[in-house]
């Protein structure tokens, strides 16, 4: 009888202990996860006047929270792609010598359509639409 009561009390004590531990750890772990910050929904961003963009040049700007690289190639055509490498999130750059997008971190290479052509990137870069309105360059989401 005494033994059973002791076992039962030990069981109760363990449950309380686990519960107390949970009550301490749950708020701690929840605290560690940063709260989500509401993002403004951006649909398009003005890049600037076309004349400020010579052929064979590039610029990185923010589209909401995402860095986007805008490239004007040798033929004068514009391309806008996510500037975040799909491998490990480094910011890519336009290589004039290769006419392609290059990531310095792990030597990943993309063409100007954003397709991953060599190195470790597993996916292509997201493409953005480029429009010219009144000589002003505007980029917006595809589709």
Partner 1 sequence: MKGLWNKIEKWLDERYDIQPMKEYIKHKKVPMHRHSVWYYMGGITLFLFTVQVLTGILLLMYYKPGENSSYESVRFIITQVKFGWLIRNVHSWSANLMIFFAFLHMFSVFFSGAFKKPRELTWVSGFLILALALGFGFSGYLLPWDDLAFFATKVGTEIVASVPLIGHWLKEVLRGGEDVTGATLSRFFGIHTAILPLIATILIAIHLLFVQKQGMHEPEEFKNLPEEKKKYIPFFPNFALKDLLFWLLIFNIILFLALYFPWQLGPKADPLSSAPAGIKPEWYFMFMFQSLKLLPAHILFLEGEVVGILTFGLAGTIWMILPFLVPAKRESNKILKIIGVFVVAFIVVFTILGYIL
The label of the residue with tokens 């006419």 reads 99
Under rule CB under 8 A, residue 97 binds partner 1: no
According to DSSP, the residues that pair with 70 across neighbouring strands are 59, 80
**Tokens, residue 72:** 């004007």
Tell me how far apart the alpha carbons of residues 57 and 100 are, in angstroms, rounded to a whole number: 11
Under rule CB under 8 A, residue 88 binds partner 1: yes
Under rule CB under 8 A, residue 124 binds partner 1: no
Under rule CB under 8 A, residue 92 binds partner 1: yes
Under rule CB under 8 A, residue 91 binds partner 1: yes
What is the x/- site pattern for partner 1, positions 54-73, by CB under 8 A?
Answer: ------xxx--x-x------
Neighbours of 25 (CB within 10 A): 10
- Interface residues with partner 1 (CB under 8 A) are 32-34, 37, 60-62, 65, 67, 83, 87-93, 103-107, 116, 119-122
């Amino acid at each position: 009888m005494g033994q059973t009561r002791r076992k039962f009390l030990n069981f109760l004590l363990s449950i309380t202990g686990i519960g107390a531990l949970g009550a301490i750890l749950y708020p701690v772990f929840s605290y560690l996860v940063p709260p989500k910050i509401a993002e403004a929904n951006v649909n398009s961003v003005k890049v600037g006047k076309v004349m400020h963009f010579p052929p064979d040049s590039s610029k990185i700007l923010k589209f909401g929270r995402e860095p986007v690289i805008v490239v004007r190639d040798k033929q004068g055509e514009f391309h806008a792609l996510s500037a975040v490498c799909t491998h490990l999130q480094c910011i890519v750059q336009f290589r004039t010598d290769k006419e392609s997008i290059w990531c310095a971190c792990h030597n990943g290479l993309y063409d100007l359509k954003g397709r991953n052509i060599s190195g470790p990137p597993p996916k292509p870069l997201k493409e953005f639409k480029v429009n010219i309105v009144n000589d002003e360059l505007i980029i917006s989401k595809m589709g």
